[in-house]
Homo-oligomer: A and B are copies of this chain.
C-alpha cells in the first residue's frame, strides 16, 4: 500500500523524460542547439588555475563577481542582475515569483515547451497565444494575455528562429498590465535585442543563457536583467547558493572574452547562411533565422520523413510533431563538416 501522496498538481504531471542521448557512434548531434565550437580559451585557464581547496567553502551566494561583469557588459548596475543555475533556473524563479492559481502565465505557441510545465508546477493557468501563420506575434497579443500576470516573449523565438519586430515587443510591454519576460536565450545570434529597454520599463525582465553563444551548456549558467524592484523580489525565491563557485570563475572568464564570442558567432552565422542558400536550391523553405538553428521545411512538406532519414544516417536533428510545426525540422548550426553531411543527405533525398 502506498503511504504517501504528492501535491495533486504533481500527480497530474507527466513523468520526467530525459533528453535524447542516442548511443550511436560518430553521431552528428545537432538537436539541442549546442554550440559546435569549444568555450573561450579563458575557460580552460579558469579551470586549470582553479585552487580546488577553495571548494571546501560555500560560494558567494549572489555570484557578485559575475553580476559585476554582466552589469558592465550591459551597462546596468549589479543590483539589476540575478544569476541562475542555467536560464531554466531563471525561468523557474520568475514563474514562482509571479504565477499561481489566480495569477496565470501567458506565452506564445509554438515556443519553448518548458514554460507551461513550470506553470503547471505552480498550478497557474496558461494562456497560450497562437503565433500567426508566419510565426509572428498577433497584433492583439497584449489583449489576449490580459488575464495573465506574467507574459513570456521568446525573442528570437524557438523552435521557429525568427525575432519579432522590436517595435511590436515594445508595444506589448507598454500595453500589457503585468510583467513581461523577454527570453533572449538566442539573442547573441540576432541583429538586435531588448536589453536596452530595461532602463525604460519597470515591468520588463530580460533573460540570457551561457549555454548557446558561449558554448557553456555543461556548466549551467543563465541570468536576468531588470529593474531593482523585480530583481530584489526574485532574489527571495532563488536557492541561497544556486550558482557554484567554479561556475562563477568559468562564467567570468567566458564573458570577459567578447572577441572570441564574436568570432564563433560569425562562423555560425556564415554556416547558417550557407545552409539557407543550399537548402533553397533543393526546394526547401525556412523561417528567416536570428538564431543558431534553422527551422526548415523540406520540398515534400514532410518534416517527419526528413528527420527519420537523417537519423538513419546518424544525424540527429529535432522534430516537433503537430499541425503547424510538423512540416519542419529544426537543425542546429553545427560545424561546416556537420552541415555538409545534412546537405549531402538532403541532396540525395530531394536533389
Contacts and interface: CB of A to CB of B under 8 A. Distances in A.
A350 interface: no
A232 B10 CA distance: 11
A271 interface: no
A92 B19 contact: no
* Count of chain copies: 2
A240 B50 contact: no
Interface in A57-111: 57-62, 85-86, 88-89, 92, 96-100, 103
A34 B57 contact: yes
Contact of A16 (B43, B177, B236): B236
Contacts of A237: 10, 121
A338 interface: no
A62 B218 contact: no
Given A239-B85, A239-B86, A241-B88, A218 B4 contact: no
Interface stretch (A164-172, A209-217, A304-312): A209-217
Interface of A: 2-7, 9-11, 13-16, 18-19, 21, 29, 32, 34-39, 43-44, 47-48, 50, 52-62, 85-86, 88-89, 92, 96-100, 103, 114, 121, 123, 149, 177-179, 201-203, 211, 215-220, 229-230, 232-233, 235-247, 250
Given A5-B178, A85-B242, 12 more contacts: A6-B233, A16-B238, A32-B58, A35-B56, A38-B55, A43-B52, A47-B50, A47-B52, A85-B85, A86-B239, A96-B121, A244-B247
Q: 6 nearest interchain CB pairs?
A: A218-B245, A55-B218, A38-B53, A56-B215, A16-B235, A220-B244
29 contacts: A3-B177, A3-B203, A7-B98, A10-B233, A10-B236, A10-B237, A15-B232, A15-B235, A16-B232, A16-B235, A16-B236, A29-B57, A34-B57, A34-B58, A38-B52, A38-B56, A39-B53, A43-B55, A44-B52, A47-B47, A55-B217, A55-B219, A56-B218, A85-B85, A85-B242, A86-B239, A100-B123, A220-B242, A220-B244
